[in-house]
Structure 1
């Protein structure tokens, strides 16, 4: 959707041997030259970073192990994240969100509700390769009720991805949503789930407009009033993504920095994963919405090498 501008593009004068020697030098001797590591990894595309990881492994040691022993904290987490492709990193995050006691629903919502059909297909395949587990089965085992139904529907990867808008269908869907929610007794979640999981984004935008004309309520307000918990989070995410995926990520970044304490995991996930796709666009929308640049927000919230790395990825 829209014009998606990345902040990280493949480095033109890429020389993998030169890079691995420089990284090795940065890790040798007393103390680590973190800036040298940042300068290289934040300026190489994901597949170039894969080549660096492989070449380092062939010539010296396992690069991940080396960096884990040299680095600490959020800086270490972010650097290690950059040594996976965005796809592999995403499926590791999905697994982490479901492992152990309790589920980190916010991560599931963020990754699955923003995914394209192609993303979903790749997640399933990659999840199996990395974890030797079935992603759909894990999601089903880890969620329940309407949330499970909705995520299972999304996992079919059957959203219409055309740019066609059928005004008549928009009216019908808006009416169905109204009758299932505000206009009815109790909310009929299956109607919401079906429409939000299957229609294309432009079609949904038309439906949201029709909904507002019909009910006098913005669809997000209706969702806030009619639903709760994780289901509400899913619906809000799907509506926001249908309206503007990059603005959805800008909001997530802002939320991760608001209030007491910073949610560094979310910062790492979005900044590292979106750098190759649309982070430049997310930065523009962040500035537009919050009157402060993403870089300035990160400068205020983060410190040390972690801050330097995130700013370098943001360019």
Structure 2
């Protein structure tokens, strides 16, 4: 909330033709100049990268994304391709990937739909339809069920109030409704939770959670944990955590993606790329306060080669 910092800003001396030429050189001939690719792509905004892509096509007749695909591989390639997409395109592709084939990665659906603005959701719905000739809402209905489906459908409507107005009597009445829907009534009245969590503005939700604590002596987080389970719990907690502190929500996701053995590279890449122009600078600070180590040091310890280099360049 408030004053959040990205890590990627518009490049001041931007020259799409020069960047296209430098990328052409980096990909042509023997070997690939990965450092040059990183230097350019990690220091341009999505819009600027899009302009480079258009310039490349104009000047050389080739699709830059296809050229990069031919030159790169592994997780490094994944990051580069993620950076080459405009945010709504990237979100739409991640949602499709989460629902395609056997099984649904509901975690990804929750993360994206619970943390984007109405405008981002509208754009992503439009792009989803353009790219895949499918309707996002219909796909969500066929891939999820029950209360989770209802919540995700409510979120994809993009009807959240986005003002910062706080109405204390509404906070108290919402808290009462959540309390009555919660204790002992779960399974029958998730609708009350859905309507509050999917439509109120984030400041209003904070006020509601505070009112809940004051009036009923319990943290909303503990109530959700004791009364729900599985994906519904994850979805409710994602919204609760985002309302309280969105940057902490992403710091936790990044930490979880790297702690222990193995790395959840898809989550790591998605969080770093999708937040780089929004609040990754603030997420970095939150990460350091929470885990007493920098995000960069975690990435450096978990990743290697050009994959490590490009993530560190985006994190700055």
Matches within 5 A, 1:138-177: 138-177=139-178
Count of matched residue positions in the alignment of Structure 1 and Structure 2: 315
How far has the Cα of 1:215 moved from its partner? 2.7
SS in 1 for 2:115: coil
Q: Does 1:178 align with 2:183?
A: no
Aligned equivalents of 1:21 and 1:168: distance in 2? Answer: 60
Aligned equivalents of 2:186 and 2:129: distance in 1? Answer: 42
TM-score normalised per structure 2: 0.96
After superposition, give the CA deviation of every residue in 1:81-120 in whole Å (9 maximum; x if it has no partner).
1111111111110111111111111110000001211122
Aligned equivalents of 2:266 and 2:247: distance in 1? Answer: 18
Aligned equivalents of 2:243 and 2:73: distance in 1? Answer: 38
Residue number in structure 2 paired with 1:243: 244
- Note the residue ranges of structure 1 that are not aligned, 5 or more in a row: none
Residue number in structure 2 paired with 1:37: 37
Q: Does 1:123 align with 2:124?
A: yes
- Note the residue ranges of structure 2 that are not aligned, 5 or more in a row: none
**Alignment check: 8 A CA contact 1:180 1:186 kept:** no
How far has the Cα of 1:235 moved from its partner? 0.1
Residue number in structure 1 paired with 2:66: 65
Aligned equivalents of 2:164 and 2:52: distance in 1? Answer: 39
Aligned equivalents of 1:90 and 1:248: distance in 2? Answer: 18
SS in 1 for 2:69: helix
How far has the Cα of 1:186 moved from its partner? 5.5
Aligned equivalents of 1:309 and 1:261: distance in 2? Answer: 19
Residue number in structure 2 paired with 1:232: 233
Greater displacement, 66-75 / 24-33: 24-33
After superposition, give the CA deviation of every residue in 1:261-293 in whole Å (9 maximum; x if it has no partner).
111111111111111111111111111111111
TM-score normalised per structure 1: 0.96
Q: 1:259 to 1:130 in 2, by over 3 A?
A: same
Aligned equivalents of 2:73 and 2:187: distance in 1? Answer: 50
Q: 1:185 to 1:162 in 2, by over 3 A?
A: closer
**Alignment check: 8 A CA contact 2:186 2:228 kept:** no
Q: 1:185 to 1:242 in 2, by over 3 A?
A: closer
Q: Does 1:94 align with 2:95?
A: yes
Greater displacement, 9-18 / 297-306: 9-18
**Alignment check: 8 A CA contact 1:253 1:266 kept:** yes
Residue number in structure 2 paired with 1:199: 200
Aligned equivalents of 2:235 and 2:186: distance in 1? Answer: 22
Matches within 5 A, 1:269-288: 269-288=270-289
Greater displacement, 64-73 / 304-313: 64-73
Give RMSD over aligned pairs. Answer: 1.3
Residue number in structure 2 paired with 1:3: 3
How far has the Cα of 1:247 moved from its partner? 1.5
Aligned equivalents of 2:224 and 2:181: distance in 1? Answer: 11
Residue number in structure 2 paired with 1:266: 267
Aligned equivalents of 2:47 and 2:167: distance in 1? Answer: 40
Residue number in structure 2 paired with 1:54: 54
How far has the Cα of 1:24 moved from its partner? 1.6
**Alignment check: 8 A CA contact 1:178 1:184 kept:** no
Q: Does 1:223 align with 2:240?
A: no
SS in 2 for 1:160: coil
After superposition, give the CA deviation of every residue in 1:9-60 in whole Å (9 maximum; x if it has no partner).
1111112222122112211232211111000111111111011112212222
